[in-house]
Amino acid sequence: MSEVKKNGEPLEDSQATVHKKEKHPPGLYLLFFTEMWERFSYYGMRGILTLYLTTAFISGGLGFDASSAAMIYGCFTGFVYFTPLIGGYLSDNYLGQRKAILIGGVTMAIGQFTLFSSQSRTALYIGLLLLILGNGFFKPNISNLVGQLYTKNDPRKDSAFTIFYMGINIGSFFAPLICGTLAENWMAVKEGGQVISYGYRYGFLAAAIGMIIGQLLFNALAQKYLGDIGKYPATKDKTGHVVENKPLTKKEKQRVTVIFILTAFCVFFWAAFEQAGTSLTIYTKDFINRNVGGFEIPVSWFQSLNPFFVVTLGPVFAALWVKLSKREKGDLTVPQKMGMALVLVAVGFLCMVGAVLQRGGAEDMTVKASVIWLIFTYFFHTVAELSLSPVGLSMVSKLSPPKLTSLLMGVWLSASFIANLVGGVIASKLDSFGHMQIFGGIAAVTFLLGLILLTVNKKLVKMME
């Protein structure tokens, strides 16, 4: 039934559309669950990878020393964000997003099974390589499909990507808990309560199963909820004829330049943010008082704080973007949101500076800083992440010329490629440079970059129009 005003007249067309448009299409939730399972798989295996690498062979691991393990971990987490450039290009020109997602998902499932199949270094390298390749096909294309559910400048886009981002984080919240518990408890061989041999392989099996569930779900329901979206490459029609081969206009080139500029700023955001898995974890282990009422919180549990905050704060942000977009002057601009994110990540690191000051430079390892500092750090980092990461996905989908959308999604993700490598180097200097210098230095650099971004906001917005 059509909507009517109180006096019985039908609503004006535009009003009715705006009203109806507040709801998100069901396809968003299909992509939400598909990505949730894929991220479950990714973060589940990533959560036990370092332990698997460094545990002795006889105890179910591969017996690498700590520095080789850090190197393998750093390269793996970096290169998974390099291959989206390749997967994005192939999808735009030859495959279309749906096929790329299938190829990527199946490749990653085989990768996880390879890790499960044998406790050997050969299986490790082949498995990681398959995961790196598969992610390249999967990640830029699933994100791109979210954008394609909406018209180019639909105001619901930022909110849609925020909801999608919550899916990512529900997966990454539960994954380390489930895969970790399988590896360290349920599938571990114990004697008198002591672990003799860990069951890491079963953690990888759980990751493989998660990936398969996501793929089954996606392929069974895509036709129903996505229709023809993402079936053909952006540059070709159903019959394979090229439809998009015009050179980019001046305006399009400007928009692509903005994507590159903002991606470059975000490298610094991710390099700071990714310290969660490295320097922040090392600091937590040694210098944060994890004792709460006689219970010692395991270091790895702090990894769940970020996804926990994303899932709890996500709805607030999704609603906030919609609300702001209804103001007369509209939503905050993308550079404003990202500039704020850089400032907030700096505030997070200032909390770590607070922790260092509280310890007062004590050599004594028994002098600990309060856990509150760390909780606030993760809180600010998550607020920052929510105003940068989903917003970035949304921005790429709005600014990209259609024939380059998946490739440019790959460009956006490649910020994390450089950031993981750079972030690893920064973290490795923690001891030689000192905690204050590293945490304070990161805060200063990101704060400054945030201010620069806020200053050039108008110029960038002009280029984006």
List contacts with ligand GLN (CB under 6 A): 39, 168, 270, 389, 413, 416
* Nearest residue relative to ligand GLN (C-beta): 416
Nearer to ligand GLN, 355 or 415 (CB): 415
Question: What torsion do the CA atoms of 7, 9, 15, 18 make, to the nearest 10 degrees?
Answer: 90
Taking the complex as a whole, how short is the minimal distance between the CB of residue 314 and ligand GLN, in angstroms? 12
Specify whether the CB–CB gap between 132 and 73 falls below 8 A: no
Nearer to ligand GLN, 88 or 233 (CB): 88
Taking the complex as a whole, how short is the minimal distance between the CB of residue 118 and ligand GLN, in angstroms? 28
Taking the complex as a whole, how short is the minimal distance between the CB of residue 97 and ligand GLN, in angstroms? 16
Nearer to ligand GLN, 140 or 199 (CB): 140
Taking the complex as a whole, how short is the minimal distance between the CB of residue 413 and ligand GLN, in angstroms? 5
Q: Among the residues of 182-299, which ranges form H helices?
A: 200-226, 250-273, 279-287
Give the CA distances from residue 136 to residues 100, 322, 378, in Å, rounded to whole numbers and listed in that order.
Answer: 9, 31, 28
Taking the complex as a whole, how short is the minimal distance between the CB of residue 155 and ligand GLN, in angstroms? 23
| Two structure tokens written together for 55 | 């545990």
DSSP letters along 95-158, please?
I-HHHHHHHHHHHHHHHHHHHHH-SSHHHHHHHHHHHHHHHHHHHHHHHHHHHHTS-TT-TTHH
3-state secondary structure of 401: coil
Give bridge partners of residue 291 from the DSSP assignment: 296
Nearer to ligand GLN, 276 or 332 (CB): 276
Taking the complex as a whole, how short is the minimal distance between the CB of residue 301 and ligand GLN, in angstroms? 18
Specify whether the CB–CB gap between 439 and 353 falls below 8 A: yes
Nearer to ligand GLN, 284 or 389 (CB): 389
Q: Which positions ≥6 away from 254 have C-beta within 8 Å? A: 463, 464
DSSP category for residue 55: S
C-alpha 349, offset from chain centre: 20
Nearer to ligand GLN, 411 or 413 (CB): 413
Nearer to ligand GLN, 270 or 378 (CB): 270
Nearer to ligand GLN, 41 or 93 (CB): 41
3-state secondary structure of 12: coil
Taking the complex as a whole, how short is the minimal distance between the CB of residue 267 and ligand GLN, in angstroms? 11
Taking the complex as a whole, how short is the minimal distance between the CB of residue 98 and ligand GLN, in angstroms? 19
